[in-house]
Structure 1
Amino acid sequence: MIASRLLLAAAALGLLAGAAPAADNPMRPSPAWDEMRLAVIGTETEPPVDPAILNLEAPMRADNPALVPVRVTQPPGAPPIARLALVIDQNPAPVAAEFTFGPAAAPLDLELRVRVNAYSDVRAIATLNDGRQVMAGRFVKASGGCAAPAGRSGEDARKDIGAMRWKSEPVGTRAMGQLMIRHPNFSGLQRDQVTLLDIPAEFVRTIAVKQGDALLMTMEGGISISENPVFRLAYAPNGQPVTVHAEDTEGRVFDRQFPQGAN
Structure 2
Amino acid sequence: MRLAALAMALAGAPALAAENPLQPSPAWEDMRSSVTGSDIEPPIDPAVFDLEAPMRAENPALVPIRVTQVPGSPRITKLALVVDHNPAPVAGEFTFGPATAPLDFEVRVRVDAYSDVRAIATLEDGRQVMAGRFVKASGGCAAPAGGGDKAREGMGEMRFRSEPQGDRAMGTLMIRHPNFSGLQRDQVTLLNIPAEFVQTIELKQGDEVLMTMEGGISISENPVFRLGYRPNGQPVAVHAEDTDGRVFDASFPAAGG
TM-score, structure 1 normalization: 0.95
Equivalent positions of 1:80-99 (< 5 A) are 80-99=75-94
2:5 corresponds in structure 1 to 8
- Displacement of 1:192 after TM fit? 1.3
1:44 corresponds in structure 2 to 39
- Displacement of 1:257 after TM fit? 0.5
Match 1:34 to one of 6, 29, 34: 29
Instruction: Tell me: CA distance 1:248–1:20, structure 2 relative to 1, closer, same or farther (3 Å).
Output: farther
What amino acid is the match of 1:123? R
2:244 matched to 1:250? yes
Amino-acid identity (%) = 73
1:211 corresponds in structure 2 to 205
- Displacement of 1:16 after TM fit? 2.8
What amino acid is the match of 1:151? G
Give the whole-Å Cα distance in 2 for the aligned partners of 1:235 and 1:245: 18
Length, aligned pairs only: 257
Q: Structure 1 stretches of 5 or more lacking a match? A: none
**What secondary structure is seen at the aligned counterpart in 1 of 2:189?**
coil
Q: Structure 2 stretches of 5 or more lacking a match? A: none
- Displacement of 1:172 after TM fit? 1.4
Give the whole-Å Cα distance in 2 for the aligned partners of 1:122 and 1:5: 27
- Displacement of 1:130 after TM fit? 1.4
**What secondary structure is seen at the aligned counterpart in 1 of 2:105?**
strand
- Displacement of 1:152 after TM fit? 2.3
Deviation readout 1:8-28 (Å, 9 max, x if unpaired)? 2323xx223267513300001
What amino acid is the match of 2:3? L
Deviation readout 1:172-223 (Å, 9 max, x if unpaired)? 1100000000000000000112332210000000000000000100000000
Match 1:132 to one of 103, 124, 127: 127
Give the whole-Å Cα distance in 1 for the aligned partners of 2:119 and 2:241: 24
Give the whole-Å Cα distance in 1 for the aligned partners of 2:246 and 2:75: 32
Whether the aligned pair in 1 keeps the contact of 2:117 and 2:135 (CA below 8 Å) is yes
2:115 matched to 1:120? yes
- Displacement of 1:5 after TM fit? 2.3
Give the whole-Å Cα distance in 1 for the aligned partners of 2:47 and 2:187: 46
Give the whole-Å Cα distance in 1 for the aligned partners of 2:5 and 2:77: 33
Give the whole-Å Cα distance in 2 for the aligned partners of 1:36 and 1:157: 33
Whether the aligned pair in 2 keeps the contact of 1:57 and 1:71 (CA below 8 Å) is yes
Whether the aligned pair in 1 keeps the contact of 2:171 and 2:256 (CA below 8 Å) is no
What amino acid is the match of 1:6? L
